[in-house]
Amino acid sequence: MDVSRSVADTERLAGELAKTLTGGECIALHGDLGAGKTQFVRGLLTGLGGDPRDVSSPTYVLLNIYNTGRLSLFHLDAYRVAGVDDFESIGFGELLEQGGVVVVEWASRVSGLIPKNAIQVTIEATSPEERRIMISR
């Protein structure tokens, strides 16, 4: 467990995780609204060599794809999905086979599709400025 006291801390922790990724991983992000899930994705993208300014929440489009030169980052958001059918219709299974990194915000909403070996990341606000970040492989 790590403690983040700023957006920069959250992005740095995600960047450290990104440096360990080799492709083919799925990261399941958990946390309430405003916990810092999208900031975590920004840090992942930076750690993979991409431009953090490219990151936006895919709440309305379901999927954003970021090419980093090293690995593609597939950023999905399950907040507004009606069910697993929405994720299957955008080719979630195929994304997992692309050799990139698949990150799913609100992963618990599509838990039946998340691979058993996914990296679980839970971000919990403990105060307005502080987050507890738990990463389990």
Residue-wise pLDDT tens for the chain (137 aa)? Answer: 899 999 999 999 999 999 999 999 999 999 998 899 999 999 999 999 998 888 877 666 678 899 888 899 999 988 888 778 878 888 899 999 999 999 999 999 999 999 999 999 999 999 988 999 999 98
Angle formed at CA 93 by CA 40 and CA 137, multiple of 5 degrees: 45
On whether the CB atoms of residues 60 and 130 are closer than 8 A, the answer is no
Q: Kindly list the structural domains of the chain, giving each domain's residue range(s) and its CATH number in brackets, ordered by start.
A: 1-80+106-113 (3.40.50.300)
pLDDT at residue 24, as a whole number = 95
Q: Which amino acid would we find at residue 40? A: F
24 Cβ neighbours under 8 A, 6+ residues apart: 96, 99, 100
pLDDT at residue 62, as a whole number = 77
pLDDT at residue 115, as a whole number = 95
